[in-house]
């Protein structure tokens, strides 16, 4: 009889423990584990955000990191500095990036390439002389980065240094980037040299020459801009994909702002009403509205 009572007591105790485990202890353990995982997730997330927003962190990685980490850090730095709010104002920062750029001449060319872009994207003219040094680099990609960054700094006098890249001994990619940068510098003295590129065999160079001339107030490339607004025109260039076509049309629409006549209206109206790209339609309408209000 006592044995049965003891068994019943043990059975009831087991049931109470099972209920306690199922309805209180197990959920509590799950909540604790979820809290640990969530805490870890947010710690990692915000650590990465903080790290990403810290240019000095990447400068240090470029200085002391392994080879693969140096160029990746230079790349990340060039992305961060595109946000003006994250560009350090201290002389220490600018001196360090200049120093590392000069030392990187003996490093992986990608490090120097991305450091050049990082300096250019700040739009700070204090980097101009350093970037001018990069125009003499042996690595083509590094030279192109210097050309591009000099264009970003918008110093008209720099045009005299860039114009040499339109000579035959330089690659088409260097010529292309040179033409784009010359259009940003605002130096009208180099218009004749850019005009010579309107008949160049490479289509992209002809197109960007017309766009740069328009930015400099010269309408010599007007016919080219008109062609760039017409999707049918691109059927002559099988190597140009749909994404490139839409980018070219978008830039051409923006370029019409530099012309004071109505030659582009019919092309813009067709794009505004019938084009397949929503972005192109929107921009074409905005440009037409601005022209109507002038």
For the stretch 222-274, pLDDT in tens is 999 999 999 999 999 988 999 999 999 999 999 999 998 889 999 999 999 99
- Tell me phi and psi for residue 71, to 5 degrees: -70, -35
Which has the higher per-residue pLDDT, 291 or 15? 291
Q: Give DSSP secondary structure letters for the chain.
A: -HHHHHHHHHHHHHHHHHHHIIIIIHHHHHHHHHHHHHHHHHHHHHHHHHHHT-HHHHHHHHHHS-HHHHHHHHHHHHHHTTSGGGS---HHHHHHHHHHHHHGGGS-HHHHHHHHHHHHHTT-GGGHHHHHHHTT-SSHHHHHHHHHHHHHHT-GGGHHHHGGGGSTTS-HHHHHHHHHHHHHH--GGGHHHHHGGGG-SSHHHHHHHHHHHHHTT--TTHHHHHHHT-GGGGGG-TT--HHHHHHHHHHHHHHGGG--SSTTHHHHHHHHHH-S-HHHHHHHHHHHHHHHH-
What is the structure's pLDDT at 260?
Answer: 85
Which has the higher per-residue pLDDT, 273 or 9? 273
Mean of all residue pLDDT scores within the chain: 87
pLDDT tens, residue by residue, 164-173? 999 999 999 9
Q: Are 248 and 228 in contact (CB under 8 A)?
A: yes
What is the structure's pLDDT at 294?
Answer: 65
What is the structure's pLDDT at 262?
Answer: 87
**Residue 30 pLDDT class (50, 70, 90 cuts):** low
Q: What percent of the chain has pLDDT over 90?
A: 74
Is the pTM of the predicted complex or chain greater than 0.85? no
Task: For the chain, give the number of residues.
Answer: 294
What is the structure's pLDDT at 28?
Answer: 53
What is the structure's pLDDT at 36?
Answer: 56
What is the structure's pLDDT at 191?
Answer: 98
Residue 293 has pLDDT above 80, yes or no: no
Residue 23 has pLDDT above 60, yes or no: no
**Residue 51 pLDDT class (50, 70, 90 cuts):** very low
**Residue 58 pLDDT class (50, 70, 90 cuts):** very high
Residue 91 has pLDDT above 90, yes or no: yes
**Residue 291 pLDDT class (50, 70, 90 cuts):** confident
Which has the higher per-residue pLDDT, 251 or 44? 251
Cα Rg of the chain, angstroms = 30
């Amino acid at each position: 009889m006592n044995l049965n009572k003891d068994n019943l007591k043990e059975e009831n105790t087991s049931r109470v423990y099972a209920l306690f485990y199922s309805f209180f202890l197990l959920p509590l353990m799950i909540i604790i584990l979820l809290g640990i995982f969530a805490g870890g997730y947010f710690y990692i997330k915000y650590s990465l955000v903080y790290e990403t927003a810290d240019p000095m962190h990447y400068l240090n990685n470029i200085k002391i990191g392994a080879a693969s980490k140096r160029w990746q850090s230079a790349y990340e730095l060039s992305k961060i500095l595109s946000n003006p709010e994250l560009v350090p104002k201290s002389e220490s920062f600018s001196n360090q990036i200049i120093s590392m750029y000069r030392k990187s001449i003996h490093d992986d060319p990608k490090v120097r390439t991305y450091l050049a872009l990082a300096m250019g994207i700040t739009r700070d003219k204090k980097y101009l002389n350093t970037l001018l040094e990069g125009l003499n680099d042996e690595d083509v990609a590094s030279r192109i980065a210097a050309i591009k960054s000099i264009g970003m700094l918008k110093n008209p006098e720099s045009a005299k240094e860039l114009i040499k890249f339109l000579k035959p001994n330089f690659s088409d990619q260097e010529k292309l980037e040179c033409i784009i940068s010359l259009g940003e510098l605002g130096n009208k003295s180099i218009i004749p040299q850019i005009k010579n590129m309107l008949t160049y065999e490479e289509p992209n160079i002809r197109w960007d020459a017309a766009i740069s001339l328009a930015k400099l107030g010269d309408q010599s490339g007007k016919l080219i801009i008109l062609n760039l607004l017409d999707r049918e025109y691109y059927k002559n260039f099988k190597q140009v994909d749909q994404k490139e076509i839409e980018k070219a049309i978008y830039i051409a629409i923006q370029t019409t702002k530099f012309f004071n006549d109505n030659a582009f209206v019919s092309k813009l109206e067709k794009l505004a009403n019938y084009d397949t790209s929503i972005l192109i339609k929107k921009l074409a309408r905005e440009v037409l509205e601005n022209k109507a209000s002038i």
